[in-house]
Amino acid sequence: MKKYLDKTLSPLERAEALTDEMTVEEQASQLRYDAPAIERLGIPAYNWWNETLHGLARSGTATVFPQAIGLAAMFDAEQVCSVAEIIAKEARAKYNAYIKYGDHDIYKGLTMWSPNINIFRDPRWGRGHETYGEDPYLTAQLGKAYVKGLQGDGEVMAAAACAKHFAVHSGPEELRHEFDANVNAKDLEETYLPAFRALVEDAKVEGVMGAYNRVNGEPSCASDFLMSKLKEWGFDGYFVSDCWAIRDFHENHHVTANSVESAAMALKAGCDVNCGCTYVNLLAALEDGLITKEDIRTACVHLMRTRIRLGMFDDKTEYDDIPYTVVACKEHKAAALTCAEKSLVLLKNNGILPLDESKLNTIAVIGPNADSIAALEGNYCGTSDGYVTFLRGITERFTGRVLYSQGCHLYKDRISGQALPGDRYAEAIAAAKNSDAVILCLGLDASVEGEEGDTGNEFSSGDKKDLRLPESQRRLIQLVQGTGKPTIIVCAAGSSINAETDADALIHAWYPGSEGGRALANIIFGDVSPSGKLPVTFYKDSDLLPPFTDYSMQGRTYRYTTDNILYPFGYGLTYSKVKCTDIKYSDTVAEVTAENVGDTDTDEVIQLYIKDYSEHAVPTHSLCGFIRVHLKAGETQTFSISLDKNAFTSVDDNGERKVYSQRFTLYAGVCQPDELSEALSDSKCVSVEITL
């Protein structure tokens, strides 16, 4: 038996044995993302590139969950873990089928380049909806849960997660291939690196992907500073470049003279696999003396170790018998529906919601996102075998008549190219006037906010220009509300949108996945109480934000600003009223008593925030614990919530994290402990003073 097939050896020992049977040319070939087969060793071709941001992506049919920012709005690590377990199961089912039929193409493997744990520091960033929001602790907790669910705890990994984009990466998209993110030591340790550290140290994430930009002058995919952090944290997986990022070294960053130097620079720094084509120059770099054979061998060992950890060279794994029929099965769709229901955030309600069907004969469903599949999907998505749009969900749920009008184009001034501007406004007004209530479905989709280079992105290479809805939709709001009909606005978007109007209710739906329309209907008609919370701050005006290219955290996110806030981080209403009435603290655990004083059963999210009185602490307070709970009307329960292990630390200007204060205030509530949050939520936080 070949040594690399001996399962009594460690994955590293097996990987070294396998790598040492290859020639240096064969080893170099395996460092491409589209690694060719080595037939003499029985190694099949393997494409490292696969995506599972919120479901198995780009590989045909799969369960489509809410976009990552929607999953974050659940504030539910256990649910995120369950989502990742489902994704891994579907990925294995499809992988089993693909290899059976000899298909080793892109998006068919088991190395998933997810999750995106960058910090959503600026609401204009087009890719922010791929993340878990603006808070490092929330991002770390959900990211760890995702990795745990995806990789599993079996004899071999179910699938390999990958933390991206390392690091300090959150726009602007238009400049990402040449941009140098200048960031100080405090912001690095306090904001940009904690989630990556948590996924490496605590979750043992198998992969890390670099970013396109430079960080303080060094290309992220070949940064001595960033690579030293991975070593410090004990990372023992594989490192992959973002796609064609190494080419940027010589073409855009100008830190090397040519592709040979770029390949050498990346490999020497510790980039094991190149998503792109620059590593075809590795043998030339070897010939020029820029790298050694051992550099190539080391990277190849890392990659073979990951494939061995996935069981790719074993005769049988525990996942081989997962049937193809689990893909998009009934149970998985039910989970997608649950996630969508938990993710929708009720921002405003004057009492119109939930709708009383007994008083309604006709509802008008109006807007460019009413019957839009794109508004359900977000980006990096799979293909559902059945989408429930907002229109379909409401039509199926409501027993009366539904009148539909698209109302306007998502962002253009007309829908029909041969028509005059505003060609659907009259129809929208007619539908509204002939209804008892209007559900106005607005927002964006991934053609408007997304990744630079995506086909169809119309605005600023994927980034938003401001926080307003497109002009076509702002005009539609005016006309519909001018009819005087009760109006509920549903905004599908992955980021902060200022859709503030005189509407009777406002729901932020994110990109809620294939079951989004059914979830919306269940909430609108009161079958389910809304319970999502904002994982990002909603601002009033983008002109009052710091410059997009400024990576300082000053003036950004709830931890560093109290100005220009429309809706705060952590905010979201339910159909009931939950109050935290008591808090006790002992040995890193808070005991919080909460009571549902309303008349509706509901989920709620109890949030812990800590105020550190050190001179090095953030100006406001920091999330340090949370738990999603369910309380029946009139019910009181006490919940144990573990605090962040770093809750009592802060970071000085040199980037040193430690305990600098002896005095803290710990808050518990269904929102932040600030005046605006408590006023909007109509709920006060309780607190306890802690002295270390």
The two structure tokens encoding residue 363: 């509802």
Q: Are strands 218-219 and 214-215 parallel, antiparallel or unpaired?
A: antiparallel
Nearest to 74 by CA among 530, 643, 600: 530
- Cβ atoms within 10 Å of 616's Cβ, excluding its own: 18
Torsional sign, CA 4, 9, 15, 19: negative
Question: Phi and psi for 677 in degrees, rounded to 5?
Answer: -60, -45
- Amino acid identity, position 27: Q
Is the omega angle on the peptide bond into residue 165 within 30 degrees of 0, that is, cis? yes
Distance CA 143, CA 202 (A): 10
**Tokens read off for 375:** 């508004």
Catalytic residue among 76, 122, 449, 452: 449
Contact between 120 and 536 under an 8 Å Cβ cutoff? The reply is yes
Catalytic residue, candidates 122, 187, 242, 612: 242
294 carries an active-site annotation: no
- Picking from 152, 217, 154, the residue whose alpha carbon sits closest to that of residue 181 is 217
Residue 593 host element (H or E)? strand 589-596
Among 104, 112, 171, 167, CA closest to 380: 112
What does residue 8 show for φ and ψ, rounded to 5 degrees? Answer: -80, -15
- Is residue 269 left, alpha or beta, with left meaning phi > 0 and alpha meaning psi from -120 to 50? alpha
DSSP per-residue codes, 168-229: S----GGGTTT-EE---HHHIIIIISHHHHHHHHTT--SEEEE-SSEETTEEGGG-HHHHHH
Asked if 223 contacts 166 with a C-beta cutoff of 8 angstroms, the reply is no
- Asked about 656 being catalytic, the answer comes back as no
Task: Confirm if 624 and 690 have CB atoms less than 8 A apart.
Answer: no
Active-site positions?
242, 449
